[in-house]
């Protein structure tokens, strides 16, 4: 499940046309799309795509192929679900198993993040099955091992952003902003301020340097059961909530689904491994560690202009 981490977007307005903004509640968060006045006819199509992605990837909607797969251990799947499962394989391998959608047996059955939440006992966590290799699928159907459930929340919002941006680009939209809580993509230059959970002063403010840029934030302080020690960022290898980072923000030209997944994976890694993993990728990062130390990657100037 993805943190409802709010990054405030200060729109860099075009001199000729101001951006028009529409917001709806989709994918368990506020989905905000900003377009030029001349492109406002694409709002409807963009939100329709996002609604379809939501239905396709949801583990709560009973009409979703993912819900049916978790319940029946087999299901017919549509194109969005197929693409998401295919991407999940890529992220599982890329992260050496730290990104694992089979964490659903913990997030859905034990902690139950989002509904009837509870703190599971250690023996329940130890007995849970997070075996990714029990998932098999093709373009039409999927199967899952008994006792295993999948949770696409670790990159689902990023995937939704990608599909909307793809639609806008096909229709020659040059300037836009698509934001699902902490997952944002800018077409055209924009200014972003990363919220500080402990202060009114932003962690960092920056202006993107490239014409298309993704930002994704994962953090542990805004989605937990009881205390932050029982947060939604679960290490699939230990089945314990991570306690190393308060938040990780990634900035890149990579697809939002990639950036979203890599932020999720790094969040549950041991500290040294997390930095090694992130430094191997085409991205910059802004990290708030558990002791509130702020770490900014040395390459950040390649992606953004930091504001004083």
For 155-182, what is each residue's pLDDT tens digit? Answer: 999 999 999 999 999 999 999 999 998 8
Q: What are phi and psi of 127, to 5 degrees?
A: -85, -15
pLDDT classification of 235: cutoffs 50, 70, 90: confident
Q: By C-alpha distance, which of 216, 252, 248, 251 is closest to 233?
A: 248
Question: Comparing 228 with 96, which gets the higher pLDDT?
Answer: 96
Q: What are phi and psi of 287, to 5 degrees?
A: -125, 130
pLDDT at 118: 61
pLDDT at 183: 95
Query: Which CATH entry fits the domain spanning 7-57+69-307: 3.20.20.70, 3.40.190.80, 3.10.520.10, 3.90.1200.10?
Result: 3.10.520.10
Beta pairing partners, 24: 31
Residues 269, 156: Cα–Cα separation, whole Å:
20
**Number of C-alpha atoms within 13 angstroms, CB side, residue 238?**
10
Beta pairing partners, 193: 8, 205
Paired tokens of 39: 């492109």
Question: Comparing 113 with 166, which gets the higher pLDDT?
Answer: 166
Rama region for 226: left / alpha / beta (φ>0; ψ in -120 to 50; rest)? left
Q: By C-alpha distance, which of 133, 94, 106, 96 is closest to 240?
A: 106
Contact between 124 and 112 under an 8 Å Cβ cutoff? The reply is no
């Amino acid at each position: 499940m993805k943190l409802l981490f709010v990054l405030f977007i200060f729109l860099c307005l075009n001199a000729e046309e101001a951006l028009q903004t529409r917001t709806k509640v989709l994918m368990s968060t506020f989905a905000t799309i900003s377009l030029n006045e001349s492109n406002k006819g694409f709002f409807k199509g963009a939100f329709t795509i996002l609604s379809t992605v939501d239905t396709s990837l949801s583990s709560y909607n009973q009409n979703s192929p993912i819900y049916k797969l978790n319940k029946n251990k087999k299901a017919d799947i549509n194109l969005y679900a197929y693409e998401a499962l295919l991407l999940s394989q890529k992220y599982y391998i890329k992260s050496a198993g730290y990104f694992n959608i089979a964490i659903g047996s913990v997030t859905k059955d034990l902690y139950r993040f989002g509904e009837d939440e509870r703190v599971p006992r250690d023996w329940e966590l130890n007995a849970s099955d997070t075996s990714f290799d029990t998932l098999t699928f093709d373009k039409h159907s999927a199967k899952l091992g008994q006792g295993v459930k999948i949770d696409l929340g670790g990159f689902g919002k990023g995937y939704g952003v990608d599909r909307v941006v793809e639609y806008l680009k096909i229709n020659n939209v040059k300037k836009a902003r698509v934001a699902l809580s902490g997952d944002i993509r800018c077409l055209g230059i924009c200014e972003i301020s990363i919220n500080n959970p402990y202060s009114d002063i932003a962690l960092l403010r920056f202006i993107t340097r490239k014409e298309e840029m993704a930002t994704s934030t994962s953090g542990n302080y805004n989605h937990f059961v009881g205390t932050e020690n029982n947060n939604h960022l679960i290490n699939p290898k230990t089945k314990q909530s991570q306690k190393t980072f308060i938040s990780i923000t990634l900035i890149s030209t990579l697809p939002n689904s990639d950036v979203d997944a890599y932020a999720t994976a790094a969040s549950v890694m041991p500290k040294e491994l997390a930095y090694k993993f992130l430094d191997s990728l085409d991205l910059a990062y802004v990290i708030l560690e558990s002791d509130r130390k702020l770490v900014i990657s040395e390459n950040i100037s390649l992606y953004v202009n930091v504001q004083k």
